[in-house]
Amino acid sequence: MSEASFFVEAPVEAGTSSRGFVLQTLRHQRVAMAAALFLVAVTVTAILAPWIAPYPLHEQVGPVFGAPSWHHLLGLDDGGIDMVTLLIWGLRTSLVVGFAATFVSMVIGGTVGVVAGYFGGGTDTVLMRITDYFLVIPDVPLMIVVAAIWGPSLFHIIIVIGILLWTSTARVIRAQVKSVRERVYVKRARALGAGHTRIVVRHVLPQVAPLLIASTVLTIAVAIFDETALSFLGLGDPSSISLGRVIENAFARAAISTGAWWAIVPPGVLVALLILACSLVGGSLEDALNPRLRVAHLSARTFRLRPLVGRGKDAL
């Protein structure tokens, strides 16, 4: 056969892999890139807390509500503890809760989504009704109730947040799995003699993994926020310092009326920045990894408000 000569070896174009695409998208979206760098920096700081915190966490190192100075860049709190030290340790707890709760919710949401989407039928209906049920429960009141009943501990907080945040993930994953399941290569895998586990792991999961990743990052933001809210309401673990506890502490000890803004503003800003960064990174990951959003006519993101009349500075 002379057919072999038809197939001339062609070089593979660089930058078409999905990893390359993510980096490319991040590079184009400067804000998302900055947010990603911020998240990395914050995570490293949290991990290194025992070594880089400038002062001990449980010792009075200066006057109560001491103002910011060269020695204490963000001042001192109501117990005379250095604020920078508090923030670093608080960050650690907040991130641990954020990541762990997200992990729990991704495992639940991913499993429910894949099982419901893949098996369909009655399984799908039952699982989706359960999801709907969890979806309509108001998050914060339920968390308060559960945290109050189980008692305040870090582990309980993680579980409570985890079992409330998986619903949207489950729905997104289910929808995608339903579409993947109908593709011919899944039928081909069945014709190969592959079992359900193999089909899901080898052929379905790789297709939904990008969505799972994007939704993970977005969920981290919500988990951090929820943990802060719970701690602020006094339902957090009293034995560990999280950002929410720092805020609550300052609030309860009248930092505002004392004028000690440094005890309450920095932790609040830090939480806001964390959530913002997660949302930005999650959003741009979604842009990069979800092919739907790349197609102009299907993407709400490409719609812009256009001026009604005129162009440039004459526009109305």
Partner 1 sequence: MSPLLQVEDLHVWFDLENGGELHAVQGVKLSLEPGERLGLVGESGCGKTTTALAILGLLPPNASVSGRVLLEGDDILAGGEEAMRPHRWVDVAIVFQGAMNALNPVRTIGQQIVEALELHGRAKGATARARTGELLEAVGIPAGRAARFPHELSGGMRQRAAIAMALACNPKVLIADEPTTALDVMVQAQILELLDALCRDFGLALILVTHDLPVVAQLCNRCAVMYAGEIVERGPLEAIYHTPGHPYSRMLFAASPDLAGLDEPVLSIAGAPPRLDRAIEGCPFAPRCDSVFEACVVRPRLEQLAADHDAACHLNSRVPA
Of these, 15, 193, 310, 312, which contacts partner 1 (CB under 8 A)? 193
Of these, 27, 28, 71, 198, which contacts partner 1 (CB under 8 A)? 198
The amino acid at 46: A
Of these, 43, 168, 207, 290, which contacts partner 1 (CB under 8 A)? 207
Q: Does 184 bind partner 1 (CB under 8 A)?
A: yes
Please name which of 308, 205, 201, 224 lies closest in space to residue 273, comparing C-alpha atoms. 224
C-beta atoms surrounding 17 within 10 Å: 11
d(CA 15, CA 25): 11
Residues forming beta bridges with residue 82, ordered by sequence position: 76
Residues forming beta bridges with residue 76, ordered by sequence position: 82
The amino acid at 36: A
Q: Does 147 bind partner 1 (CB under 8 A)?
A: no
Of these, 48, 140, 192, 298, which contacts partner 1 (CB under 8 A)? 192
Q: Which is nearer to partner 1, 124 or 139 (by Cβ)?
A: 124
Please name which of 60, 59, 87 lies closest in space to residue 73, comparing C-alpha atoms. 87
Q: Residue 316 CB, nearest distance to partner 1 (Å)?
A: 46
Of these, 149, 191, 308, 316, which contacts partner 1 (CB under 8 A)? 191
Q: Which is nearer to partner 1, 7 or 70 (by Cβ)?
A: 7
Q: Does 3 bind partner 1 (CB under 8 A)?
A: yes
Q: Does 9 bind partner 1 (CB under 8 A)?
A: yes
Q: Residue 202 CB, nearest distance to partner 1 (Å)?
A: 7
Q: Which stretch binds partner 1 (CB under 8 A): 87-95, 183-191, 234-242, 275-283?
A: 183-191
The count of chain residues that interact with partner 1, using the rule CB under 8 A, is: 25
d(CA 117, CA 183): 13
Q: How far is CA 105 from CA 34, 210, 263, in A?
A: 27, 16, 32
Q: Does 7 bind partner 1 (CB under 8 A)?
A: yes
Q: Does 1 bind partner 1 (CB under 8 A)?
A: yes
Task: Give the list of residues 6+ apart from residue 237 with CB closer than 8 angstroms, or none.
Answer: 93, 152, 153, 154, 157, 231
d(CA 290, CA 259): 48
DSSP letter, residue 70: S
Torsion of CA 62, 65, 67, 71, to 10 degrees: 30
Q: Does 120 bind partner 1 (CB under 8 A)?
A: yes
**CB-count burial class (<10 Å; 0-12, 13-18, 19+) for 288:** buried
The amino acid at 293: L
Q: Does 14 bind partner 1 (CB under 8 A)?
A: no
Q: Which is nearer to partner 1, 135 or 194 (by Cβ)?
A: 194
Q: Residue 203 CB, nearest distance to partner 1 (Å)?
A: 5
Q: Does 312 bind partner 1 (CB under 8 A)?
A: no
Q: Does 295 bind partner 1 (CB under 8 A)?
A: no
Q: Residue 168 CB, nearest distance to partner 1 (Å)?
A: 24
Q: Does 187 bind partner 1 (CB under 8 A)?
A: yes
Q: Residue 64 CB, nearest distance to partner 1 (Å)?
A: 59
**CB-count burial class (<10 Å; 0-12, 13-18, 19+) for 234:** middle
Q: Which is nearer to partner 1, 203 or 253 (by Cβ)?
A: 203
Q: Does 62 bind partner 1 (CB under 8 A)?
A: no
d(CA 111, CA 105): 10
Query: Where do contacts with partner 1 occur on this chain (CB under 8 A)?
Result: 1, 3-4, 7, 9, 12, 120-121, 183-185, 187-195, 198, 202-203, 206-207
